[in-house]
């Protein structure tokens, strides 16, 4: 892959180059229709899986981790990112949060994982699933995103039920 750095990585930032990524087949997003999740949505969903279905994420990655063709390119390490809050006056930087990131290569395919907090195991599991099992990663990611959306809707409904009106 000329111009993409070693092992399909972008030379500018060392992250997996989008053209080098393995994609899941159509309808692998867990909904039964439509295209597979894109790389950003898959990463978001795998991070959600670390929060709502950690056991499922680790189970998906376990057989991949046992393979001989796995290389950890950047070991899991903590980083900070800015959390942005959307408000009526526009986006505002709220605070910095800790995330754990890692990159791997499985059978020549790059994978990237990023999860909230210091969680090396979940970040590595997300990267392995991203690299070696895109269809399984998409199914797990889509399910985790749906679970988080249901939880947000439930919280919003409970909050609406507690509003007080002052006369």
CA distance 102 to 61: 14
Helix intervals (H) in the chain: 39-52, 54-65, 120-132, 134-161
pTM: 0.75
The SS3 assignment for 85 reads strand
Phi and psi for 42 in degrees, rounded to 5? -60, -45
Q: In what order do the strands lie in the sheet with 109-116?
A: 70-85, 92-106, 109-116
- Are 99 and 81 spatial neighbours (Cβ–Cβ below 8 Å)? yes
Residue 160: its pLDDT value, please? 85
Residue 163: its pLDDT value, please? 74
> What pLDDT band is residue 134 in, cutting at 50, 70 and 90?
very high
pLDDT at 45 over 80: yes
Per residue in 136-149, pLDDT tens? 999 999 999 999 99
- Are 143 and 136 spatial neighbours (Cβ–Cβ below 8 Å)? no
**Domain boundary assignment for the chain:** 36-153
């Amino acid at each position: 892959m000329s111009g993409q750095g070693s092992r399909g990585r972008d030379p500018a930032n060392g992250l997996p180059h989008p053209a080098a990524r393995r994609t899941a087949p159509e309808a692998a997003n867990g909904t039964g229709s439509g295209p597979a999740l894109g790389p950003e949505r898959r990463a978001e969903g795998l991070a959600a899986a670390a929060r709502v279905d950690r056991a499922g994420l680790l189970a998906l990655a376990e057989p991949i981790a046992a393979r001989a063709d796995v290389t950890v390119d950047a070991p899991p390490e903590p980083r900070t990112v800015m959390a942005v809050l959307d408000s009526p006056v526009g986006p505002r930087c709220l605070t910095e949060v800790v995330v754990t990131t890692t990159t791997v290569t499985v059978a020549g395919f790059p994978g990237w994982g990023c999860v909230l907090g210091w969680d090396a195991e979940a970040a590595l599991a997300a990267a392995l699933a991203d690299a070696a099992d895109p269809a399984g990663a998409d199914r797990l990611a889509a399910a985790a995103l749906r679970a988080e959306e249901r939880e947000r809707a439930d919280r919003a409904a409970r909050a609406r039920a507690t509003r007080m009106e002052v006369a």
